[in-house]
Amino acid sequence: MAPLVPEDARREIKFVTRRSHYEQLKDWLFHNQAFFRIAYPDRAVNNIYFDTHNYDAYDANLSGRSGRTKVRYRWYGKDPQPEAGKLEIKHKRNMFGWKTLFPIPVAPWHEHISWINLKRIISDHLPIEGKLWLQHHPVPIIINRYEREYYLSSDGLVRVTIDKNQTVLDQRRKSQPNLTMSVALPDIIIVEIKFHRSERERASEIIQGIPIRASAYSKYVSGVHAVSGNNTW
Interval 153-175 mean pLDDT: 96
Q: 105 CB contacts (<8 Å, ≥6 apart)?
A: 84, 125
Report pLDDT digits (tens) over 80-119: 999 999 999 999 988 889 999 999 999 999 999 999 999 9
Q: 60 CB contacts (<8 Å, ≥6 apart)?
A: 67, 68, 69
Locate all alpha helices (DSSP H) within 31-100, ordered by sequence: 56-62
Report pLDDT digits (tens) over 16-64: 999 999 999 999 999 999 999 999 999 999 999 999 999 999 999 998 8
Domains of the chain: 10-227 (3.20.100.30)
Hey, is 220 helix, strand or coil? helix
What pLDDT is attached to residue 2? 45
> β-strand 139-152 against 158-170: which pairing, if any?
antiparallel
> From CA 46, how far away is CA 58, in angstroms rounded?
18
Query: With contact defined as beta carbons under 8 Å apart, do 144 and 49 qualify?
Result: yes
What pLDDT is attached to residue 208? 87
Q: Which of 3, 9, 39, 4 is nearest to 196 (CA)?
A: 9
Report pLDDT digits (tens) over 215-228: 889 999 999 999 99
> From CA 170, how far away is CA 223, in angstroms rounded?
8
What pLDDT is attached to residue 232? 63
> From CA 210, how far away is CA 207, in angstroms rounded?
6
